[in-house]
Structure 1
Amino acid sequence: MAEVKLIGAWFSPFSRRVEMALKLKGVEYEFIDEDLSNKSPLLLKYNPIHKKVPVLLHNGKPIAESSVIIEYIDETWEGPSILPKDPYERAMARFWVKFIDEKCLVAMWKACFSPGEEGEKAKEEAAQLLKFLEEEIKGKKFFGGENIGLVDIAANFIGYGFGILQELMGVELLTKEKYPNLYEWIDGYINHSFVKDFLPPKDKITEVFKAFAQPGYSGYKPKF
């Protein structure tokens, strides 16, 4: 059997993306929980460019960046398809993942943690960006159609972690009233029998977010 290891962090939504992909394919793996405030020689060795998780080791060969890893997993192992088979639909799935990573998550994170005018501007930007996802999910059970796919996995922070974060920070951005289609997706996503296994306890995630929110906090903080 091929040796598969995943260098990640238990609270990282990007690490969880990869874990979900491995589980969907039925791949056995070893999870190496990284202390991102004191990065290990192992992480620095296998991801010297970005120095961040996740990193997949397959027979000793490293693959970095969650979206790249997921495509590798989808192409390497048998099992349910994570990306669509149709070339156009595959291209669109990649587009939405890029949109989520480079636009939505950045604005949503800033909306919660940036002070004053910068925070208000980020809230407005995030609200506009979420409207695109609201329209994209309209009439669908999941972004992948009837089954969870690449975009659903990529949006896991929107589906779970962000609700905890905005409650903690007193931000009302993603609500049922403003985004009924997206909210319906969230409800179906977090209550899916497969997804439930990957949702960290709310109290543990809350403690992590509380640390990020402390004035003068200088430890690790995700850089969306």
Structure 2
Amino acid sequence: MEVQPGTPTRAIAVIGDSRVDGMGSTPGTDRRWTDVLARRPAARGGQALCVVNQGISGNRMLTDGIGTAALARFDRDVLATPGLGHVVIAVGNDLVFSFAPRTEESAGFLSMFPGSPVGVDDIVAAHLQLAARARAHGVKVHAVTIAPYGGSEMYSAEGEKAREQVNAWIRTSGAFDGVLDFDAVWRDPAEPTRIRGDLHMGDSLHGSDAGCAALAESVDLSLFD
């Protein structure tokens, strides 16, 4: 649904997977991290910001599966957003699924995600392509670090190494106008490969209401000025 705002408004479009889509938050209560983030600028006054959630559970950047891949749907779902000022890239499933252990328990789920496994270089290239396309459209682009998922059935040591490499690149490459370090917000100081127990829904993968709120409250609103 599109509405005509009564005051100058800038849109933030977030493209992502289940952690953006809101899996783990209470359904129907607008407690996804994007919902909480959208309420914060209104509370401080100033220019209105609307946050457009373009998360699809199971979505990937490079390969179709559950939903069209982020690279392919970017123009339609993100760049076509009226009043677009900022893009946030928050897709981590490519690495999670590529390195997930293939067991009897996970085989059925992983069969929904066809295509060849991808590595760190592939994820970096995909981020750079999305960033270039966003800037060509005249908007700023921000990247989200991939949060921990140790303890989930998708976890592997190889996947963890790849996650750490991608996160290090996101933080230090200078490729983005801003970084939302959700890994730092969620990771357990005692076990950095895992989400803090009070911030996930019980699956060690998706945030609870408290976890979503913690992500939203960590975002520096000055990034969107």
Q: Same fold (TM over 0.5)?
A: no
Larger RCO, structures 1/2 (Cα 8 Å, 6+ apart): 2
Q: Which has the higher strand share?
A: 2
TM-score (normalised: structure 1) = 0.38
Q: What is the TM-score with the length of structure 2 in the denominator?
A: 0.37
